[in-house]
Chain A
Amino acid sequence: MGVPEALILRIAEGRDRAAYAQLFSQYAPKLKAFMMGRGLTAIEAEDLAQDALLNVWRKASYFDPSKASATTWIYSIARNLHIDGVRKQKRAQTLPEDLWAPEPEQAPDTHLIGVQDAKTIGVLMQTLSPEQREVVRLSFFEDLSHGDIAQALSIPLGTVKSRLRLALLRLRAAFETRAESKSV
Chain B
Amino acid sequence: MTSINHHLDEVILLDYHRGRLNAGQSLLVETHLEMCPHCRTSLRLFDAIGASMLEEVVPVDMAEDALELALARIERPEEAPEPRVAPELPAYLKGIDLPESVRAAAFKPRYWGAPGVWMAHLDAPKDGRGLTYLMHVKGGMQMPVHDHQGLEMTLVLTGCFSDDRGAYHPGDCVSCEAGDHHSPLIAADDCLCLIAANAPIAPRTLLGKLLQPFARI
Look across to chain A and name the residue whose beta carbon is closest to the beta carbon of B38. Answer: A110
Cα–Cα distance between A28 and B66 once the two chains are bound (Å) = 9
Pick the residue among A33, A50, A93 that contacts B57 (CB under 8 A): A33
A113, B45: Cβ atoms closer than 8 Å? yes
Pick the residue among A29, A33, A75 that contacts B47 (CB under 8 A): A75
Closest Cβ–Cβ distance, residue B214 to chain A (whole Å): 31
Say yes or no for A13: interface residue by CB 8 A criterion.
no
Look across to chain B and name the residue whose beta carbon is closest to the beta carbon of A172. Answer: B45
Q: Mark B54-79, 1 if CB is under 8 A from A, else 0.
A: 11111111110011011101100010
A168-B51 in contact given A92-B84, A99-B40, A114-B44 (Cβ < 8 Å): no
Which A residues are CB-close (under 8 A) to B3? 107, 109
CB proximity to A under 8 Å, residues B1-49: 3, 9-11, 14-15, 17-20, 23, 26, 30, 34, 37-38, 40-45, 47-49
CB proximity to A under 8 Å, residues B63-120: 63, 66-67, 69-71, 73-74, 78, 82, 84, 100-101, 104
Pick the residue among B18, B48, B74, B82 that contacts A117 (CB under 8 A): B48
A50-B19 in contact given A72-B51, A75-B50 (Cβ < 8 Å): no
Say yes or no for A71: interface residue by CB 8 A criterion.
yes
Say yes or no for B53: interface residue by CB 8 A criterion.
yes
Pick the residue among B11, B41, B84 that contacts A113 (CB under 8 A): B41
Which A residues are CB-close (under 8 A) to B50? 72, 75-76, 79, 140
A29, B59: Cβ atoms closer than 8 Å? yes
**Total inter-chain residue pairs, C-beta < 8 Å:** 176
Which A residues are CB-close (under 8 A) to B15? 146
Say yes or no for A8: interface residue by CB 8 A criterion.
no
Q: Mark A145-177, 1 if CB is under 8 A from B, else 0.
A: 110000000000000010011001101100100
B11, A161: Cβ atoms closer than 8 Å? yes
Cα–Cα distance between A145 and B18 once the two chains are bound (Å) = 10
Which B residues are CB-close (under 8 A) to A24? 66-67, 70
Look across to chain A and name the residue whose beta carbon is closest to the beta carbon of B63. Answer: A46
A168-B14 in contact given A69-B51, A117-B48, A122-B55 (Cβ < 8 Å): yes
Which A residues are CB-close (under 8 A) to B41? 110-113, 172
Q: Chain A's interface: helix, strand, loop or mixed, by majority?
A: helix
Which A residues are CB-close (under 8 A) to B59? 29-30, 32-33
Which B residues are CB-close (under 8 A) to A141? 53
A33-B37 in contact given A92-B84, A169-B10 (Cβ < 8 Å): no
Say yes or no for A31: interface residue by CB 8 A criterion.
yes
Cα–Cα distance between A112 and B62 once the two chains are bound (Å) = 35
B66, A121: Cβ atoms closer than 8 Å? no
Which A residues are CB-close (under 8 A) to B14? 139, 164, 168
A119, B71: Cβ atoms closer than 8 Å? no
Cα–Cα distance between A86 and B23 once the two chains are bound (Å) = 11
Cα–Cα distance between A75 and B56 once the two chains are bound (Å) = 13
Say yes or no for A82: interface residue by CB 8 A criterion.
yes
Which B residues are CB-close (under 8 A) to A74? 51, 54
A79, B62: Cβ atoms closer than 8 Å? no
Question: What are 13 sample pairs from A and B whose C-beta atoms fall under 8 A apart?
Answer: A30-B55, A34-B54, A36-B60, A72-B50, A72-B51, A75-B51, A107-B3, A111-B41, A139-B14, A139-B18, A140-B49, A164-B14, A171-B45
The 10 A-B pairs of least Cβ separation, nearest first, read A29-B59, A83-B19, A118-B51, A72-B51, A121-B52, A75-B51, A33-B60, A122-B52, A118-B52, A71-B51
A46-B62, A71-B54 provided; 20 other pairs, C-beta below 8 A? Answer: A17-B71, A17-B74, A20-B71, A29-B61, A30-B55, A34-B54, A46-B63, A54-B73, A74-B51, A87-B19, A109-B3, A112-B44, A113-B44, A117-B51, A121-B48, A139-B14, A140-B53, A165-B11, A172-B45, A175-B48
